[in-house]
Amino acid sequence: MTVIVALRKGHSAVIASDRQISHGEISVPGAIIRYPNKILAIDGAYIGLAGNIAHQSVLRSLIATHPELFDLSSAAGIFETFRRIHPLLRSEYHLLSKANDEAQEYESNHMEGLVISPGGVFSFLGYREVTEYGTYWAAGSGSSFALGALDALYAQRRSARAVAEAAVATACKFDTACGPPIESYEITLQA
């Protein structure tokens, strides 16, 4: 349960998220959490994860032990990253995929999130679907609220960071699974 937003505006890209997490029926306010953050830095890019908090620990471990597997510079690079790490998710991290589910064409890694890199703004889903955005996108349980705020604020004369943080704040206000504080990171896009 979370909200993550990513947007590009001018030469900047920003990713922002709330900090609240849930342990079953218990919501843990973000203000009392020291670890984990929902946004991870890797090689000049940032990746924000929605869903199970275990994904943060798994990706942190993979980044530390196999940084050569990560290419977040483009949609193709992100797809290949998730394709390369999938066998490790199954063998070393005990990912439970629904391999026997006849309705699914591919195994899912159950991860959803957003990426900003000098190459752009991207989303990814569990079956390794990757989309690049020319403006903005949001992920997580608060994404509907955040997308409404992004749509209303994007064209205004506000900085990319101000728009991203306002969208996360809106989701925190209306989605009980999201809560402050807000974390955000900004990078410069390639020309």
- With tokens 């937003």, the residue in question is 5
Residue 130's contacts (CB-CB under 8 Å, 6 or more residues apart) are: 75, 76, 78, 79, 82, 122, 123, 124
The pLDDT value recorded for residue 123 is: 96
Place of tokens 């980044």: 63
Confirm if 103 and 113 have CB atoms less than 8 A apart.
no
Alpha helix ranges (H) inside the chain: 54-65, 75-91, 143-153, 160-174
Determine the pLDDT at residue 86: 86
Mean pLDDT, each 10-residue run in order, the chain (191 residues): 94 95 81 83 94 85 94 96 89 72 70 95 90 97 97 95 98 94 96 68
Identify the pLDDT of residue 179: 92
pLDDT of 101 reads 57
Q: Are 45 and 72 contacting, i.e. CB atoms less than 8 angstroms apart?
A: yes
Domains of the chain with bracketed CATH: 4-188 (3.60.20.10)
21-23 vs 26-28, strand pairing mode: antiparallel
Contact 49, 74 (CB under 8 A): no
- d(Cα 3, Cα 16) in Å, to the nearest integer? 8
